[in-house]
A and B are shown apart, each in its own frame.
Chain A
Amino acid sequence: MWTDIATFDPWTSFFGGILIGLAAVLLLAVNGKIAGISGILGGLFTARGADVGWRLAFIAGLIASPFLLRLTHYDNTVDDVNGTLTALLLGGFLVGFGARLGSGCTSGHGVVGLSRLSRRSIVATLSFMTAGFLVVNLVRNVL
């Protein structure tokens, strides 16, 4: 079951990235929306009328994606070697709160924002990359 965990294949990663970029471009080109997952998900709490449907449809597609891959026999088992309960719960809390306060997440700032060369997104991406780097190294090497 553990097909490609901990093995690194640059071309597979790059190809995955191209699909993500393509999806982000298409969502703006066809639906006129920014592919920021935290914004799409969070917007569900305030969205009304026609603004609800596309969000639900996009999220449904996202959730269905591993099953589509499984049909094509691409095995991508989620590993469970990681994470204490504290790391997951505190991590989830910080991700939810931080994405809201910082107006976006890895997709909205990191993919779409950087592609638009938005100053805010460049600052945001540098900030969350730095924080991620510091936290991981603190957990791995100091604690």
Chain B
Amino acid sequence: MQLVSALLIGLLFGVGLNIGGMTEPTRIIGFFDVFGTWDPSLAFVMAGALSVGLLAFPFLIRHGKTVLGEKMSVPTRRDITPSLVIGSLLFGSGWGLSGYCPGPALAAIGTLDTEVLLFFAAMLPLRAWRAKRGRVVPGRPRGVLHPPKRPRKLGAQARAVPHGGRPAIWETSVPSAPQRGRMTTRR
């Protein structure tokens, strides 16, 4: 049931992205190119999505349970952190450069267009590397990364680093274990 609904909802999401023109990078870049040939599509897609979302989400979240009576996982964090802002600025820069973000890239990847494949390949490795940092423990506050259960093997760590095993620059600045609980990411 959960699998079927997730599949159909993914399909609906993708159809929306395609119809909204979000799988065409020229529209994304065109949206930001206000001094050139401005393409306001993105604003209308956002308006459409928010017109449904703003009506339904507050109601859903107040209800607190799914239609099957199961619990929802909703982010509870409220703190504005440097990583939130810096991460979003980096994300926006990449979005503007390429015209793709994760959703549309997935919704267009089936066309096997070379550009989407290149973008996707460049996007994935770091995602894997960050994810290996820790795991999200069910039942604990969402959005908090916890240290891995088993001690990380150096070999496994090196394989997860997309630089041929050479440690990345920022690897040296990882906070030590007691602080790591404060690190966040996940939505």
A positions within 8 Å CB-CB of B: 4-6, 8, 10, 12-39, 41-43, 45-46, 53-55, 57-69, 74, 76-83, 85, 87-120, 123-125, 127-137, 139-141
Chain B residues, Cβ within 8 Å of A57: 2-4, 6-7, 10
Interface flags, B103-132, vs A, CB<8A=1, else 0: 100111111011110111111111110111
B76 CB to closest chain A CB, in angstroms?
10
Contact check: which of B42, B83, B123 meets A92 at CB < 8 Å? B123
Chain B residues, Cβ within 8 Å of A98: 87-94
Smallest Cβ-Cβ distance to A86: which chain B residue = B97
Looking at chain B's contact residues, is the secondary structure mostly helix, strand, loop, or mixed?
helix
- A101 vs B142: C-alpha distance when bound (angstroms): 15
Q: Check if A114 sits within 8 Å of B122, measured CB to CB.
A: no
- A48 vs B2: C-alpha distance when bound (angstroms): 16
Smallest Cβ-Cβ distance to B41: which chain A residue = A13
- Given A61-B9, A90-B94 in contact, is the A103-B84 Cβ separation under 8 Å? yes
Instruction: Choose the segment among B65-73, B151-159, B174-182 that binds chain A (4+ C-beta atoms closer than 8 Å).
Output: B65-73
Contact check: which of B48, B73, B87, B124 meets A14 at CB < 8 Å? B48
Q: Check if B49 sits within 8 Å of A94, measured CB to CB.
A: no
7 A-B pairs with least C-beta separation: A17-B48, A16-B20, A61-B10, A65-B14, A102-B87, A91-B98, A94-B94
Chain B residues, Cβ within 8 Å of A81: 26
Q: Would you mind naming 25 contact pairs between A and B with Cβ atoms under 8 Å apart?
A: A10-B41, A16-B19, A17-B49, A20-B45, A24-B13, A26-B5, A31-B2, A38-B187, A45-B131, A62-B11, A82-B115, A90-B94, A91-B94, A91-B96, A91-B100, A92-B122, A96-B94, A97-B130, A98-B91, A103-B87, A115-B53, A119-B78, A120-B78, A123-B88, A131-B92
Chain A residues, Cβ within 8 Å of B169: none
Chain B residues, Cβ within 8 Å of A116: 57-58, 61, 74
B175 CB to closest chain A CB, in angstroms?
14
- A27 vs B16: C-alpha distance when bound (angstroms): 14
B37 CB to closest chain A CB, in angstroms?
8
